[in-house]
Chain A
């Protein structure tokens, strides 16, 4: 059998997903035995022309990490789609928008104003901001357009599989690669992770879901055996997909939700807000201060990784584009 052809690409992302690929350590040798990596800009030198020159559908699998933040991200997604048979949205940003997706509470104009003018360390009296077109002596320069909203990969191209996580854990990456090698892939559209919630597979002792008060992580040293939520630590487990190997839970930290919504849940944030607020023991509106961590920034808390994946997608005044 001819060797498979893999491609890795990063769009609006921090680079952690690329780290996750390297974190499979010596197993990367198995991957290289199995497949030729034909495109991986973070590790090797590639140009757009190289990928444009490839035949259509000649890449077997493309692992695409990062959200769609600007025109270049979208163009690359479309180009790779054209060249690839199986597209995998790799990591929380490609699957749900991820942390960059939180920018959907603002827009391009406000972001540029903040970054190029308002930050305390910025000195920019002439208010110079990047332009899409710029004429210089050497010639005309072009920059990709910066969109008003962050999109998921599936908003711009068709995606076959989803590999969530921030970043996806090594075991799941290997499981996906093994499934590809053995031609045992799940039905198209599947998420390569658990189907139920993180709570469902969590080993901690669970008793009664009643919280007298939510606490910030620095206010408490949590018991390592008991449910974090029952101890008043905010945990996204009730509204987050299982399959991560409980990395945060094992480190005595509440889940932050990077695996996105479980099967059948439309809106992770709405489900999490419902779960968290319902269990706080309040019988009088004057006691609302008990849920203060929820009142401070509820949207940022419950949609930490999934704002572009939510029903509302962005702040209402933000024009999509």
Chain B
């Protein structure tokens, strides 16, 4: 689909990834505008329910970003989300939602450029997948 602009919900942790996104902005980087950012204090706050609800409300993709493993502001929050995602992806597949629509990336506060690349890449991949059923 040529005119399809995917809606992507992004859950970003306050301490690393949201700062990374901020850096992308203050650095005047241009990247895909498809991401709707929701800031959470820690990626460990992100429950499977949040992701399921996003898809139910019509999101075409969900991006979860947290601190790099070992760098969590709360020591271990990002490990929690790391553990939740593989069974959640499998479960989404069982519900007929392509697991590729959910993506986890570790983005530090210094990685503004990398954040922009991730958003561009994810937006392109979701565009290829098309709208959610």
Contacts and interface: CB of A to CB of B under 8 A. Distances in A.
Contacts of A270: 47-49, 52
Interface in A258-296: 266-267, 269-271, 273-274, 276-278, 280, 282-285, 288, 291, 294-295
A317 B84 contact: no
Interface string B46-89: 01110011011000000000000100000000011011101110
B80 to A, nearest CB: 5
Interface string A283-321: 111001001001101111010000000011011111000
Contacts of B52: 267, 270, 311-312
A316 B55 CA distance: 11
A295 to B, nearest CB: 6
Contacts of A147: none
B87 A294 contact: yes
A273 B86 CA distance: 11
A311 B56 contact: yes
Interface string B83-117: 11011101100111100000000000000000000
Contact of A312 (B79, B84, B95): B95
A276 B86 CA distance: 12
A300 B94 CA distance: 9
Interface residues of B, number: 24
B29 to A, nearest CB: 28
A300 B91 CA distance: 9
Contact of A298 (B49, B56, B91): B91
Nearest to A267: B49
Contact of B96 (A274, A297, A317): A317
Given A105-B94, A298-B94, A316-B96, A291 B49 contact: no
A317 B98 CA distance: 12
Nearest to B46: A274
A317 B87 contact: no
B28 interface: no
A273 B48 contact: yes
Nearest to B94: A299
Contacts of A276: 87
B48 A299 contact: no
Nearest to B85: A277
Nearest to A302: B91
A180 B79 CA distance: 49
Contacts of A294: 87
A273 B91 contact: yes
Nearest to B88: A273
Contacts of A274: 47-49, 84
Contact of A278 (B55, B84, B133): B84
B82 A282 contact: yes
Contact of A280 (B47, B55, B83): B83
Query: Top 7 closest A-B pairs, CB basis?
Result: A316-B96, A270-B49, A299-B94, A298-B91, A298-B87, A315-B96, A270-B48
Interface of B: 47-49, 52-53, 55-56, 69, 79-80, 82-84, 86-88, 90-91, 94-97, 132-133
13 contacts: A105-B95, A269-B91, A270-B52, A273-B48, A273-B84, A274-B48, A277-B83, A294-B87, A297-B94, A298-B90, A298-B91, A299-B95, A316-B133
